[in-house]
Amino acid sequence: GNSVTQMEGPVTLSEEAFLTINCTYTATGYPSLFWYVQYPGEGLQLLLKATKADDKGSNKGFEATYRKETTSFHLEKGSVQVSDSAVYFCALRIYNQGGKLIFGQGTELSVKP
């Protein structure tokens, strides 16, 4: 079946620290991969995406590379800010399945000043 597994949170970092949130997936087809962010009290927002192997998605200093050989899509940022505190969701979408997204369990990030 199709599934997404993320590292468990909460992750607590100091400002300007390096961030990695691990995400691995299993998929019966050839998925597109996404990272969504949910700030407190708000809906999910698309952070970045990659649609094929070796693609790198990037936005707001965050990056993730689609690694087919390791079935991974780890999220990284070189220097986090307090404003990055949120819950991050990794997700996949299989082509020709009606656009459905399958989410990981979410990883809460807390950045301290």
Partner 1 sequence: GAVVSQHPSWVICKSGTSVKIECRSLDFQATTMFWYRQFPKQSLMLMATSNEGSKATYEQGVEKDKFLINHASLTLSTLTVTSAHPEDSSFYICSARDPQGSSYNEQFFGPGTRLTVL
Query: From the list 40, 69, 70, 99, which residue makes contact with partner 1 (rule: CB under 8 A)?
Result: 99
Q: Give the nearest distance from C-beta 69 to partner 1 in angstroms.
A: 25
Query: From the list 42, 69, 70, 113, which residue makes contact with partner 1 (rule: CB under 8 A)?
Result: 42
Q: Does 31 bind partner 1 (CB under 8 A)?
A: no
Q: Which of 102, 110, 88, 105 is nearest to 12 (CA)?
A: 110
Record the tokens describing residue 81, joined without a space. Answer: 């800010």
Query: From the list 1, 69, 70, 98, which residue makes contact with partner 1 (rule: CB under 8 A)?
Result: 98
Q: Which long-range contacts (CB under 8 A, 24 or more apart) does 50-57 make?
A: 57/33
Record the tokens describing residue 58, joined without a space. Answer: 């990037």
Query: From the list 64, 102, 109, 111, which residue makes contact with partner 1 (rule: CB under 8 A)?
Result: 102
Q: Which of 16, 26, 14 is nearest to 71 (CA)?
A: 26
Interface positions with partner 1 (CB under 8 A): 36, 41-46, 89, 93, 98-106, 108
